[in-house]
Amino acid sequence: MSRDSSGPCKGFRVIMTRESDVFVPLELRAHIANNTRDSIFVSLHFNATDHDPAATGFEIYSLTPRGAPSTYEDNLTLAAVNIQNGNPVDNASIELSSCIYHSLLGHIGEFDRGIKRARFAVLRLTKVPAVLVEGGFLTERGESRLIANPEWRKKLANAICVGIDNFRTLAGAKKRPLVLADYRREVPVPPPAANQPLQNPFAPATLSLQSTPPPEPTAESPAPSPSVSSAPPER
């Protein structure tokens, strides 16, 4: 990704926490955002997994609100509720994640993994609206090819910028955020073929229970009477 401020990013001042493959401490990334006036923080990553090489799609994280479990937590203990601090920009971060999420749905043909909650350090330490975007999986062959394509990465960045611009409009004019239906009105999506059902290849397997209709009743013809023939008379 680059600092390009053209197209949908026009009008934004983009500050990169790093511009080369050098690790920047998480605390410093949050510090840069916190010390930039009127800013938001977008942490952009690409995903990987050892468990499911077929996993694909994008997902967006915002900070887990105080007293709530993160997406992958089964429960939340009372001690954890008391330890976790709230963040005054929780609502704004949730709105920002929603704006970017719907823009990605409207512009990027990736599998939708949804909006999730987590307590990542860059989200906990940032005092401005902040989200973390996972733009796809490097461990899936087809998606890794897309990620390696500079034009596709630019398309991803532009979609994120559209979502950010929508968030800015929402904050300034008190308007509702654009949702997927709005983007589909701008760029109509062709309907699927009539005989082709919509399928989610990542949904768990289900058993289809379809009852076979019983055969229609038919009139039974009476069984033929046994034929009794008498022996021919003796001659």
Over the stretch 184-234, which tens digit does the pLDDT of each residue have? 777 665 555 555 444 444 444 443 444 455 555 555 555 555 444 444 444
Every domain of the chain and the residues it spans: 36-186
State the pTM of this model: 0.70
> Is 113:71 a contact under the CB 8 Å cutoff?
no
Confidence of residue 144 (pLDDT cuts 50, 70, 90): very high
> Is 120:211 a contact under the CB 8 Å cutoff?
no
Structure tokens at 205: 């397997």
| DSSP code for 226 | P
Check residue 205 and give its pLDDT. 44
Give ∠ CA 190-196-202 in degrees, rounded to 5: 90
Check residue 73 and give its pLDDT. 74
DSSP 86-129: P-TTHHHHHHHHHHHHHHHHHH--S-EEEEEEE--HHHHS--S-
Mean pLDDT of 43-48: 96
Q: At what angle do helices 150-173 and 141-148 cross, to 10 degrees?
A: 80
Q: Which CATH architecture has domain 36-186?
A: 3-Layer(aba) Sandwich (3.40)
